Chains A and B, each alone.
Chain A
Amino acid sequence: MQQQRIVYDDTTVRRFIFAAVVFGIVGMAVGALVASQLAWWQANLGIPYLTYSRLRPLHTNAVIFAFVGNMMFAGVYYSTQRLLKARMASDLLSNIHFWGWQFIIVAAAISLPLGITTSKEYAELEWPIDLAITVIWVVFAINFFWTLAKRNEKNLYVAIWFYIATIITVAVLHIVNSLALPLDGLKSYSVFSGVQDALVQWWYGHNAVAFFLTTPILGIMYYFLPKAAERPVYSYRLSIIHFWALVFIYIWAGPHHLLYTALPDWAQSLGMVFSVMLWAPSWGGMLNGLLTLKGAWHKLRDDPVLKFFIAGVTFYGMATFEGPLLSIKTVSGLAHYTDWIVGHVHGGALGWNGFMAAGMFYWLVPRLYGTKLHSPRSADAHFWLGTVGILLYIVSMWISGINQGLMWRATNADGTLLYPNFVETLLAIRPMYIVRFVGGSMYLVGFCMMAWNLWKTARAGKAVDGETTVIVEEAQAPVPTATTTPAPGWVQVVTGRPLVFAIAILTVTMFLGWAKPVRALVLMGAIVALGELAWIVTRKDREAGRPSWFALIEGRPLAFTVLTLVAILIGGVAELLPTILIQQAVPAHGEAQKPYSPLELQGRDLYVREGCYTCHSQMIRPFVAETQRYGDVSRAEEFIYDHPFQWGSKRTGPDLHRVGGRYPNLWHYTHMMDPRATSPGSNMPPYPWLAENRIRVKDAPKKLSLMRKLGVPYTHTDVDSAEARQKSQGEAIAADLATQGVQVAWDSEMVALVAYLQRLGRGPQDVPATPSEVAPTASAAGAQEGGGR
């Protein structure tokens, strides 16, 4: 018998906590700033780098990836080592992971205010940073799975399951959604376009919430909550069911971000139905958290750690009830594009992520420094300040969102809009914007108190690394599941009854996609019968005392990982693949389906750079109130050349899909220089630098030929004449403005952006050069073949 002493790597944990607290303050401070900008437009300060539309992506990225990311890594590193009784496999990889991640955050904090962005929400970072994220994530994965391989604990605890799901799913999501062709070192275009891009983006966006903000934090809950409460976890079988249900169902739910858009009905229905079915699996996690405290509720009174955990889990329950509710098409019709969604995500981010982080930090830091928490009273004050802050935040956003949603659709008796002027609906909710700013700021103050408290705690103690001893020989001792092993392990895994039944049921379910009513009923009967049979067989097995298949795979990380991967791929493939195939079959016809002119394309990049999509949608939904206000319903085929799509997810300002031709050029110029000159009461920031900055004229042909590679039917002639076309269109707009007494250069950013806006919802607004006007070139012959798509 040999004893082995294991010292855990807690230095990395301490570093990640430090980074999480620092970036948490930064991310939330930026959040408070953008909240103030919505209430008081003057807070944009007239500085491009501090303008709302550029800072909003910084806020979301900082909070998700810098704050929650670092917090998650701290929790994962701490708990994984202890649950596996092994030090992280490689200190070098841990170091690369930590410093690499901080480098990515700094790169994001610099590039986003500069307007270097892909405009895909929560994936705005440009391709070099995307590559760095991939590399660092792989480093993390190697370090984690290597530690799994070296573990001194046969079976994997539920927390580890959630970490596995997180690591592989985030990798898949990030890589697929970031697929893009680079124009230069700082700019790339999504390989997907229009509907396809929207679906991929929200498959990613929704599952970033699921697998970055939820599953790792559930794993952390499963470790730290029973630790802090000193109580056993409520139910092992509940953890099995809610884990597998969660990872399988979550991935389907993305289309609920696109309800009533131009996404095909079937994909919308899948998104809605699976979101509704997520309610119980999500609440399974909440239950296992809350009920673990059964018999220890009295501890809540004096322990700030448990207060944060229980409130955090409760907010999780609230957000995961609200999510399915918002996914119901009728509810989404009212709530989409409004502040209700903003309130919903902040219930999750501030309540669930922020409070779970605080609980974990208050529990961990004293242990990592071998001392007691400096001030439990301050932690208590933080809790109450934070809770009141969250409530102010989400209640104000409910009121604001529902109010504005109702105002948008309110009609007079004769069917005309009650509030035809968009600004009226914005002014109505302004008081709520102020309340939200107050609530968010309270939360930030509480968070800063925590930072001070943790700092004092750390200073009072000394960094100590946890350790344990394992008995090497006994680690090999037979575990209960391995007592009778007639067949090799992998055979047992593959032939396990839960797996066989799951595959059978999924196979039958798949045919429901095409079945006619009668056959569908038969199939549904078969599904119920299979489910019933599975239930009976499982019960018999349990009564007979046969080893559980789940216990078997819990001892086999590879099998577990592969099965998780399969579970998350099914939903993704089922939704993305048909959409991608259908998209390619859409015929190009009509004016709106002509590719952008070179100047319009340049202007579009400015629309992306300035982050217009953070406040303006380009998607008119099929409601009369919406078509009265914005024009005809948006159709899928109108977006086929949109790399990336610009549908947006929030209407702080009106929809712009059919703004082309609605106003004169001078209106747009005036509006961009001083939004309140044309729209009194608007909270839009001014963009005066657009009139000064020049576009890069030489980029036009490069952009066209890149778009050509992405499947946009530009001809070689188009590419060759791009600069000339760009100039003539720019000069026409500049000349029109000059007649009204406004002097701007034809190659100013203003002119390019106006050209783009004037084109929205209709065809290109310049006269394309006919081949005879362009000097014949070698590529003219190629134009013929390039013309047909």
Chain B
Amino acid sequence: MSEKSLIHHIYDGIEEHDNHLPKWWLFILWTTLVFGAGYWFWYHIAEAGPGQLGEYAAESAEHAQRMAGNTPASDDLLLNLVKDPTSLDGGKAVFQSNCAACHGAQGQGLIGPNLTDGFWLHGGAPMAIHKVVAEGAVAKGMPAWERTLGAERVKAVTAYVLTLKGTNAAGGKAPQGEPEQP
């Protein structure tokens, strides 16, 4: 970088050199220009790369594969989970962080119904509860949780809810729905 001569103008005492552009700066300039042209060519002229929805489709397919290993829920599976203390601990944690805001920390009901009184709006059988947790009850304002929580957490929290049944927590919300048929 040699100091080139000053150019002739002086503006309010400010002089200007006319140094060459630094080589590394030119390198960055040209590299980014070539990258830009190449990127445009690849995605929009040759259309060799997928668009963002194409990328999403690929990611979704991969995700579906990862989920494929899950055992589908059933009454027996859920009742077995009720006997599994590790799963119940996990279910309780999920309940506290996601469900307690509406159903109360003891399941006594706040915005959502009381889960401890033996009355159910959509049935109290294991798979009936699982369905409501997984798919929601949109008309009643119950969100569908399986998409966000994933199948395993939904099973665990359903099992935990089964343990609340009949605990009749103090200060519970008035019963809603039908008493569970034995």
Binding site for B on A (CB under 8 A): 79, 82-83, 85, 153, 155, 157, 223, 226-227, 232-239, 241, 245, 260, 265-266, 268-270, 272-274, 276-277, 279-281, 283-284, 287, 291, 324, 329, 412-417, 420-421, 423-424, 480, 512, 515-517, 520, 524, 622-624, 627-629, 631, 633, 661-667, 670, 677-680, 740
A517 touches B52 (CB 8 A): no
Q: Which residue of B lies closest to A423 (CB)?
A: B97
Interface residues of B in 33-76 (CB under 8 A from A): 33, 35-37, 39-41, 43-46, 51-53, 55-56, 59-60, 63, 66-67, 69-70
Given A414-B66, A416-B152, decide whether A670 and B56 contact each other with a Cβ distance below 8 A: no
Instruction: Using CB atoms, name the residue of chain B closest to A664.
Output: B141
Contact A666 B141 (CB under 8 A): yes
The 16 sampled A-B contact pairs (Cβ below 8 Å) are A232-B6, A232-B17, A235-B21, A238-B21, A277-B32, A277-B33, A277-B36, A287-B22, A413-B66, A415-B63, A417-B148, A423-B97, A623-B56, A666-B141, A667-B111, A678-B101
Residues on the A chain within 8 Å of B51, using CB: 265
A240 to chain B, nearest CB (A): 10
Contact of B43 with A269 in the complex, beta carbons under 8 Å: yes
Contact in complex: B14, A157 (CB < 8 Å): yes
Using Cβ atoms and an 8 Å threshold, which residues of chain A touch B170? none
Q: Which residues of B contact A633 (CB under 8 A)?
A: 53, 56
Interface positions of B from 124 to 160, Cβ below 8 Å from A = 136, 138, 140-143, 147-153
Report whether over half of chain A's contact residues are helix, strand or loop; otherwise say mixed.
helix
B126 CB, min distance to chain A CBs, angstroms: 21
Q: Is B89 an interface residue (CB 8 A)?
A: no
In the assembled complex, the Cα of A241 lies from the Cα of B17 at a distance in Å of: 15
Q: How many residues of B contact A (CB 8 A)?
A: 64
When distances are taken between beta carbons in the complex, the residues of chain B under 8 Å from A279 are 28, 32
Q: In whole angstroms, how far apart are the Cα atoms of A416 and B152 in the complex?
A: 8
Chain A residues within an 8 Å CB radius of B13: 227
User: Cα distance A413–B68 when bound, in Å?
Assistant: 12
B80 CB–A CB distance under 8 Å: no
Q: Is the CB of A233 within 8 A of B43?
A: no
Task: Decide yes or no whether B86 CB sits under 8 A from chain A.
Answer: no
User: Is the CB–CB distance between B150 and A624 below 8 Å?
Assistant: no
> A265 to B8, Cβ gap below 8 A?
no
The contact string, 1 if C-beta is below 8 Å from chain A, for chain B 1-35, is 00010111101111111111110011011001101
Q: In the complex the two chains form, is A622's CB within 8 Å of B55's CB?
A: yes
In the complex, chain B residues whose CB is within 8 Å of the CB of A667: 102, 111, 141
Q: A416-B153, A420-B153 are in contact. Are A283 and B28 (CB under 8 A)?
A: yes
Q: A153-B11, A512-B45 are in contact. Are A624 and B102 (CB under 8 A)?
A: no
- A317 CB to closest chain B CB (Å) equals 12
Q: With a CB–CB cut-off of 8 A, which chain B residues contact A277?
A: 32-33, 36
CA of A333 to CA of B136 in the docked complex: distance in angstroms?
Answer: 30
Minimum distance in angstroms from A256 CB to a CB of chain B: 13
- Give the shortest distance, in Å, between B17 (CB) and chain A (any CB): 5
In the complex, chain A residues whose CB is within 8 Å of the CB of B15: 226, 232-233
The residue from A233, A280, A413 contacting B29, defined by CB atoms under 8 A apart: A280
